[in-house]
Amino acid sequence: MYKRILTIQDVSCVGQCSLTAALPILSAAGLETAILPSAVLSNHTGGFSGWTFTDLTEDMPKIRERWELENIEFAAVYTGYLGSAKQIDYVKDIVKSRLVSGGRFIADPAMADNGKLYTGFDANFVEEMKKLCFSADIILPNITEAALLTDSEYKETYDRSYTDMLTEKLLKSGAKTIVFTGISYKPETTGVLVIENGERKYYEHRKIAGGFHGTGDVYASAFVGALENNLPAFEAAKIAADYTLECIEKTKGDDLHWYGVKFECALPSYIKALNLF
């Protein structure tokens, strides 16, 4: 059967993140992808001097009702950057009503990085995001988001005991599978830590110096694309890591391209890794 999934995140018209990254990557993974925009912004909020923001919260229940009347359902739901705390209840309603039985709900908290919440989010948003993440089948937090979701101290440098503590707290709160991104125990490497069915697997790879905007969204989209092609979570996590690394490789050194990564150039390798065609 041809698989149709739903992704819920914002449209940043410019900036190579959220939906403008998710759609092409999920299409490359051979998945029919329906979208529900959480908000429309002129550009993302990381590094530009300002932006427009149109909140689409109140469209969500109306769209859900239409989909219910049309019997439209989804084989998986993947959420990213959301537009308001209120929206989170509506997103939960959509997952409850439109995700097929046995389908997976994958939540990327997409609210913070480098020890800070993104502009526009507050403590109330974090509380709502906890509820969403702890109801999901798979979450993809970075260290900052995991610290926020567990009311823990954020640490820039850490060892295994810190990530074990975050993992334990996430599991105790109700997290199921955790795909922990940007886990770096040594200055020259970083990686992804996958916690599934009580097992802990770490994929370590080289770290490219510098911060690259939108890589969390590129990573999560590539992960969902691989996962929904029936790969195990750890295999999907590795493919997404290799892909994201290549995107960064193709972008670094281009100072004019500070706002995102050139994820388009690496799509051929991603498609090859999925062994689809």
The smaller minimum CB distance to ligand PXL, of residues 47 and 232, is found at 47
Nearer to ligand PXL, 83 or 103 (CB): 83
With CB under 6 A as the contact rule, which of the stretches 39-47, 88-96, 142-150, 195-203 interacts with ligand PXL? 39-47
Cβ(192)–Cβ(179) below 8 Å: yes
Residue 57 within binding range of ligand PXL, rule CB under 6 A: no
**Which x/- pattern over 10-29 shows residues binding ligand PXL (rule: CB under 6 A)?**
x-x----xx-----------
- For ligand PXL, the closer CB: 121 or 162: 121
Q: Which of 147, 216, 219, 247 binds ligand PXL (CB under 6 A)?
A: 216
Q: Measured at CB, which residue is nearest to ligand PXL?
A: 45
**Which one, 44 or 130, has the nearer CB to ligand PXL?**
44
Please, which residue, 3 or 257, has the CB nearer to ligand PXL?
Answer: 257
Size of the site for ligand PXL (CB under 6 A): 14
List binders of ligand PXL among 111-170 (CB under 6 A). Answer: 118
Q: Which of 110, 178, 192, 261 binds ligand PXL (CB under 6 A)?
A: 110
State the residues that interact with ligand PXL by CB under 6 A: 10, 12, 17-18, 41, 44-46, 81, 110, 118, 214, 216-217
